[in-house]
Amino acid sequence: MSFLSFALSRRFVVIVLGAGAFIIGTCLSTSAGSKIHRSSSGAFYNFQTIDDPAEDALNTQVTGINHNDNIVGVYYGTPAPTYKSFRATQNSSGGWDFFRELGSYSDVYLSGINDRSNMDVGFSPPWSAGACSGLTSSICGVVHDPNNPDGNETYQIADPSEGGGGANCAQTYLYGTSDARIQVGYYNTSANGGIGCKSQAFEEYCGPSTGSGYQCTPQFVDFHPPGAYSSMAYGINNKGDVVGAMTTSPGGSLVGWEYSEFHYSTIQVSSFPTQARGIDWGDKVVGSYTDSSNVTRGFLMHGSDWYYPINDGQSTVVSDIDDSWNIVGWSQLSVNGPLSGFYGTCKPNCPSLGVRGGTKVFHTSKTKGGL
């Protein structure tokens, strides 16, 4: 792996709460078709359901949001999902206009968007024929950058350490991107004690110019949250703070982690399996956890204030947050029902509704690479 030449000091903190072409063609509006849209209210948030208006969009996931209220996500049918990506903007009537912007790369799981340039990232799934052209990956990261200086708006990347001898684990996933064009995600290797693939969180940034084609060489840096056996990175803000999830043993329970202000932290709702999925400029962290009834719930953490459960239906995943407390994600509105995306706006007194609690334990200083 390539490491940054300026290794920054990190500490480790434990936080536990007790108890193709850019296409702007014909847009599709949420007012079209027979989709049913509703608004609902939870303890902390008011929710608006977002379903892609495509006829075969049985399930919708809203995966990312930026401070311009642009959202990205995917829709798919059943039983075998083939993801189709979308970007949407809120219109003057409060609905959403959908755009298909990835052209031949439409079979991409679109998972994140930045603020400044609407640059978005995701990954090409294995069922998309030729999705990872020129790469040995079965799944590869995809970057769509409308402001790329050489005009190559959509390109693919693969971490050079993926695979590790297992072809089925030659996979690279991108989930988040920042205005500095730093992407985060994870790659898989086959060294996981015989239990599937082992994941390794990383960030990717633009290295030295190549002089042709995509005008820089992708550089990859691993994250090593202390105690992590397997790790994934899901979100990054414009300060370079990163969140994700990890396990401490093969097949172990998930624990959220955060890198912020030169420290690693673990994030966990009680003792439940927890994933941190998004982080804003003010270091508000959102994600999901699985409770004792095996139901997925959303959460928001802001300093020592916690907001949970965040529910919009039977189960809820909060995937991202913007700088104005607006959240996005997806939920199952009825038992065994399809998934619907949502856009959540914080209630007027939302910042005062957090539950005080949590502890912080500082450990030995670490660099980003855990060295």
CA distance 130 to 140: 11
What's the whole-model pTM score? 0.84
Rounded average pLDDT over 231-256: 95
Fill in the amino acid letter for 141: G
User: 2-40 pLDDT, tens per residue?
Assistant: 323 223 333 444 444 444 222 223 344 433 222 333 344
Over residues 328-356, the pLDDT tens digits come to 999 998 888 899 999 999 887 776 665 54
**What proportion of the chain, given as a percentage, has pLDDT over 90?**
39
Q: Which domain holds residue 197?
A: 11-362
Domain assignment present for 111: yes
On whether residue 370 sits in a domain, the answer given is: no
Residue 267 lies in a domain: yes
CATH code for position 216: 2.120.10
Query: What is the number of domains present in the chain?
Result: 1
Residue-wise pLDDT for 121-164, tens only, equals 999 876 555 567 777 778 889 888 877 666 667 888 889 898 86
Looking at residue 294, its pLDDT comes to: 92
pLDDT in tens, 294-309: 999 999 988 777 888 8
pLDDT band at 230 (very low <50, low <70, confident <90, very high): very high
Does 100 reside within a domain?
Answer: yes
Answer yes or no: is 369 within a domain.
no
